[in-house]
A and B are shown apart, each in its own frame.
Chain A
Amino acid sequence: QKEVEQDPGPLSVPEGAIVSLNCTYSNSAFQYFMWYRQYSRKGPELLMYTYSSGNKEDGRFTAQVDKSSKYISLFIRDSQPSDSATYLCATLSSSNTGKLIFGQGTTLQVKP
C-alpha cells in the first residue's frame, strides 16, 4: 500500500463547477499536508498548506484534513480553464526531514 493514494484521473469538469480532489494516507503520524498545482512543463506551485485536522480557505480554494479517516481534500469553487493542471497532494514524512511523500497527482481539465 502506498503511503499516500490519489486518483490520477483525468477529471474533466465544465467551467464554473465545484471540483473535489481527494487523497488518503496510511500513517496517522503525518501532520503536515500540502496541495501543489503543476502546470505542464513547470515546477509544482504550493497552493495550500494545512497542519493537523480542519479546514483552510484561500480564495476559491479550500483544503480539508480529516485525520480520523486519514483523508485530505482540496475543493475548487467556480473552476476556471486556468485551473487545468495536475494537482498533487503531499505530506511531510514523519521523520521531519523535509522529505515529501506525494500522491500520484490528479489531472484536471476545466472546459470553457
Chain B
Amino acid sequence: GAVVSQHPSRVICKSGTSVKIECRSLDFQATTMFWYRQFPKKSLMLMATSNEGSKATYEQGVEKDKFLINHASLTLSTLTVTSAHPEDSSFYICSAFRTERNTIYFGEGSWLTVV
C-alpha cells in the first residue's frame, strides 16, 4: 500500500483563490519532503525541498510567494498555491525521504485545475 498519501487527488478552483495540497508520510517520519510539478508527457520538475521545522528551499524560477510550503510536522508537508491562475493548472506530486533506507517514496499526485 501507499506509504505517502497526497490529498486531494483532484481539485478545481476559481482563478484568484488559493488551494492547499497535503502530503503525508504514513508509516515513517520524513524530515525532508519534496514538491514536484509535472506537465503532460514531461518529466518531473522539482519545485522545492520542504524541511521540517525550517524554511523550504525553492528551485530557481519557482516563486516562493506563489507556492507556499509548510512542513510543520515530521509526517506532513503542505503546498499552497496562492492566487491561482489557469497557468498554475498542473499535476503536483510530493515525495518523502525515508532516511534510514535512503529511499524516496512518492504520493499519488494532485491534479489542479484553475478555471
Q: Kindly list chain A residues whose C-beta atoms are within 8 Å of the C-beta of B6.
A: 43
Bound CA span A43–B3, Å: 12
- Please tell me if the beta carbons of A99 and B34 are within 8 angstroms of each other in the complex: yes
- The answer to whether B77 has its CB under 8 Å from any CB of chain A is no
Q: Kindly list chain B residues whose C-beta atoms are within 8 Å of the C-beta of A88.
A: 43-44
Chain B nearest CB from A31 CB (Å) reads 8
- Please tell me if the beta carbons of A97 and B109 are within 8 angstroms of each other in the complex: no
Q: Kindly list chain B residues whose C-beta atoms are within 8 Å of the C-beta of A46.
A: 103-106
Listed residue (A45, A46, A88) with the most chain B CB atoms within 10 angstroms of its CB: A46
In the complex where A49-B103, A98-B104 touch, is A43 in contact with B43 (Cβ < 8 A)?
no
Q: How many residues of A contact B (CB 8 A)?
A: 22
Q: Kindly list chain B residues whose C-beta atoms are within 8 Å of the C-beta of A14.
A: none
- Please tell me if the beta carbons of A97 and B103 are within 8 angstroms of each other in the complex: no
A residues at B contact (CB < 8 Å)? 32, 34, 36, 41-46, 49, 51, 88, 90, 92, 96-100, 102, 104-105
Given A43-B106, A88-B44, A90-B104; 12 other pairs, CB 8 A cutoff:
A32-B102, A34-B103, A41-B91, A44-B93, A44-B106, A92-B104, A97-B49, A98-B34, A98-B104, A99-B46, A100-B34, A105-B43
